[in-house]
Amino acid sequence: MEIEHRLYIGGRFVPAEDGATLPSLNPHDNTPLADVSMAGKVDIDKAVEAARAAFPKWSRTAAAERGRLLLKLAERMEEHAEELARLETLDTGHPLRDTRALDAPRTAATFRYFGGMADKFEGSVIPVEAGFLNYLLREPLGVVGQVVPWNFPLMFTSWKMAPALAAGNCVVMKPAELTPLSSLRVAELMAEVGFPEGVVNIVPGLGAVAGQYLAEHPGVAKIAFTGSTATGRRIVQASSGNLKKVQLELGGKGANIVFDDANLAAAVNGSAFAIFHNQGQACIAGSRLLLQERIADAFLAEFLPLARSIRLGNPIEPATEMGPLTSTVHRDRVLSYVRVAKDEGGEVLLGGAPPDRSELSRGCYVEPTVVRAKPADRVYQEEVFGPFVTVTTFREDDEALALANGTEYGLGGGLWTANVQRAHRFAREMKSGMVWINCYKRVNPASPFGGTGSSGYGREMGFEAMREYTQAKSVWVNIDAQIPAYYPRQD
């Protein structure tokens, strides 16, 4: 299959106006996959214009018809699931076993969920004073700009676009410069199933140029962003010109707490998945292990050998359990945190280096890494975004809660315990948008997803996402009220 590498604007694939391109690399060996067009300001203007032109018709299209197209897309994606999974693996380094089992089917499932939602998301009637009917319309916002990172590019097409389109908005999406290929393939599938031209526009480009300009653009009604907290702050500033609505899904530093009454085998396996899935490049990764002192040694005696046994290798091989990080720059950043940990006096319990295997030497690989850390350490406080987990011990519940809540982030966190009272108390008191009890990193299109604090604001998924992509309009109708004249006159 020819890999589509041009911008998708107004229903057509076109090169960037100035001809700029950037190679997208296979992180297994850094060989180029495609030279991808990079949108500049002129291209962003064109994409916003195309979306604005499409909006009046799309927003008035019957919700059931918008839903039908999303359902058709979900089906088409399932027909192309293997191809989408392979493309995602080549571009990102996710193991094929995951892109097959998780990324491709979940992307289709999310488009399907919001396809079904399109004509079931209702306004309401508000009980006001007698004589009046007051009702609430949920209206689409207009053109929505969406900027996404490189860690789950295929899934993010559905997280971001599906609710926006179901609600009647038009979209300009900027994928990450490192991983634009799967979103361009999704654009092709959208065109095939009949999305009208201009409703969706996909414009790969540099963050500081295309992303920044999209966030500033006066023709954009909302900017929905997933990425780092530092960029999130820039997006907020850029949005101020036309006071566009902003939604932010930012970084995380997930606390994963294991109590001494937990099912140890389940906690060990779940905790390894929590951090090592997708090489730890997940905002909801369980990157801080908090272990109750009494079981800490027993836990590590099982956890470390399990982590050591994870099959690291070329992600396109079906047996591979962990692939490379998505870029060399990012691999070096993750490795720099190993040096930080050592400088802070943290003991490296496992890994901390690229694997010593010649066949992986050209890729962006890092071994599963486990480091002891104290709450004040940088590696405990800062998001590493790699296969890098800190271990800290605690004695009692209150100490565990304070440790869990002791960073600027608040995205996802979890605990392993048999004590129901404790489980629900922690669920209430953890500063976290999502809490997992005796599991970790569960995600479903029906369940709201998002954070607090430096992890951002707004929610994706579920009915919450539909609210985020609409605005309320309150309509008053006088049905039989006698309104006394405010300016009574005799004559």
Applying CB under 6 A, the residues found at the interface with ligand NAD are 147-151, 174, 176-177, 207-208, 211-212, 215, 226-228, 231, 234-235, 249-252, 283, 383, 385, 411, 451, 455
Active-site residue (options: 88, 177, 216, 283): 283
Contact in structure between 389 and 286 (CB atoms under 8 Å): yes
At closest approach, how far in Å is the CB of 271 from ligand NAD? 19
174 beta partners:
147
**Three-class DSSP category at 330:** helix
Contact in structure between 391 and 291 (CB atoms under 8 Å): yes
Q: Which is nearer to ligand NAD, 198 or 211 (CB)?
A: 211
Active-site residue (options: 4, 177, 249, 367): 249
Q: How far is CA 176 from CA 203, 208, 219, 381, 486, in A?
A: 10, 11, 22, 25, 58
Q: Which is nearer to ligand NAD, 283 or 312 (CB)?
A: 283
At closest approach, how far in Å is the CB of 127 from ligand NAD? 37
Based on DSSP, count helices (H) and strands (E) in the chain, helices before strands. Answer: 16, 20
Q: How far apart are CA 105 and CA 81, in angstroms?
A: 7
Q: Which is nearer to ligand NAD, 361 or 447 (CB)?
A: 447
CA angle 450, 60, 126 (to 5 degrees): 65
At closest approach, how far in Å is the CB of 326 from ligand NAD? 9
Q: How far apart are CA 485 and CA 293, in angstroms?
A: 75
Catalytic, 283? Answer: yes
At closest approach, how far in Å is the CB of 28 from ligand NAD? 19
At closest approach, how far in Å is the CB of 229 from ligand NAD? 6
At closest approach, how far in Å is the CB of 330 from ligand NAD? 7
Q: Which is nearer to ligand NAD, 113 or 150 (CB)?
A: 150
CA angle 323, 325, 327 (to 5 degrees): 135
Q: Which is nearer to ligand NAD, 70 or 282 (CB)?
A: 282
DSSP-derived secondary structure letter, 436: E
Q: Which is nearer to ligand NAD, 206 or 306 (CB)?
A: 206
Q: How far apart are CA 195 and CA 136, in angstroms?
A: 28
CB neighbour list of residue 29: distance below 8 Å, 6 or more residues apart: 362, 363
Report CA dihedral (362, 365, 367, 369) to the nearest 10 degrees: 140
Catalytic, 249? Answer: yes
Distance of CA 136 to the CA centre of its chain: 30
Query: Which residues participate in catalysis according to the annotation?
Result: 249, 283
